[in-house]
Amino acid sequence: MTHVFTPHISGTSRQYRRVLVTGGAGFLGSHLCDRLIDQGDHVVCLDNFSTGRRCNIEHLIGHPRFSLVCHDVVDPLAVDVDQIYNLACPASPTAYSADPVHTTKTSVLGALNLLKLATDRNARILQASTSEIYGDPQVSPQHEAYWGHVDPTGPRACYDEGKRCAESLFFDHARRFGTRIKIARIFNTYGPRMRGDDGRVTSNLIIEALRGTELTVYGDGSQTRSFCYVDETVDALMRLMATPDGIEGPVNIGNPDERTIGDFATIVRRLTGSDSRIAYRPLPVDDPRRRCPDISEAARLLGWIPTISLDEGLSRTIDYFRAELVREPTVREA
């Protein structure tokens, strides 16, 4: 059954562009909602609150151009919108493997439901895809033309293959129905409003350092990631949405400043002033060895190159978690 939502919009409804953000109460989604409100859009934030939190969007509740809808994207929906950002999906390995079948359903059925909505309304739709579609890449940096190296049956497959299938559904809708699509392949993003308990390396290490407990590094710490500060990722998503029809992507969105996880832990320790020792634990199955975006397409199409250094972005994130630990000391018990 299709759920029909008619969010209350004050003033003349056609006065504003109406933008649906699925996963809007999550880490990335809530920052995106803030930026869209700032640029004068009416934002419909849709979320099932599985990993999202009300506190991320609390400050927007009651805003005349903000509506909140509690809904799961695996169920069809109808709402009058001009643009859709599809961010609904748990993103941390701990979160997406907690209910892997529902993770796949979220990516696949979610994409189908939102593509139908976009097609019916002639709305632009942007998919938050991921660097995980490259799996454990055999080339580095990863360019959009690389097809990836994904284990289709491993514990990360629910996320990786779900996102790959969503990309395929987006392109099929563009080819068959003329749907106005955009695909962003987002690389590791960090910043305020990450959950302290979702298991990602940035939040884990910062909380461990602030608590003075051991910093947990999986494997020998030689695997790499490239970290982009949240404001810059959100800026790139909005730039991609604003490109003319026909620019569909996929476009890599990430910071090419590649670091080993061992170095990353050392930087967190320095910036927090912690003297915690580093403890090495077994590497999770299928943990990618390298991750680094080739962002030449983003630079060419979006005029976008991230400039916030890892030291600067991490300092801001550390300030956020310091305040969180005062507000909620049990955010993630060691």
According to DSSP, the β-strands at 42-47 and 18-22 are: parallel
User: Within positions 113 to 142, which residues make up the interface with ligand NAD, using CB under 6 A?
Assistant: 128, 130
> Interface mask (CB under 6 A) for ligand NAD, residues 65-84, using x and -?
-------xxx----------
| Nearest Cα to Cα of residue 123 among 264, 241, 265 | 241
CB hemisphere CA count around 4 (13 angstroms): 1
What does the block give as tokens for 198?
């979702």
| Nearest Cα to Cα of residue 50 among 30, 69, 25, 19 | 25
Stretch that binds ligand NAD, among 87-95, 172-180, 297-305, 317-325 (CB under 6 A): 87-95
CA 25/CA 51 separation, integer angstroms: 8
- 90 makes contact with ligand NAD (CB under 6 A): yes
- 292 makes contact with ligand UDP (CB under 6 A): no
Chain centre to alpha carbon of residue 59? 20
Q: What angle do CA 89, 163, 238 make, to 5 degrees?
A: 70
Stretch that binds ligand UDP, among 56-64, 102-110, 164-172, 211-219 (CB under 6 A): 211-219
Q: Name the minimum Å distance from CB 31 to ligand NAD.
A: 8
Question: Would residue 159 show up in a list of annotated catalytic residues for this protein?
Answer: yes
CB–CB of 255/309 below 8 Å?
Answer: no
Q: What is the DSSP letter of 149?
A: B
Q: Nearer to ligand NAD by C-beta: 90 or 250?
A: 90
Q: Name the minimum Å distance from CB 226 to ligand UDP.
A: 10
Catalytically active residues are: 159
User: What are the residues binding ligand NAD (CB under 6 A)?
Assistant: 22-23, 25-29, 47-52, 72-74, 87-91, 95, 106, 110, 128, 130, 186, 188-189
User: What are the residues binding ligand UDP (CB under 6 A)?
Assistant: 92-93, 188, 200-201, 204, 216-218, 223, 225, 261, 284, 287
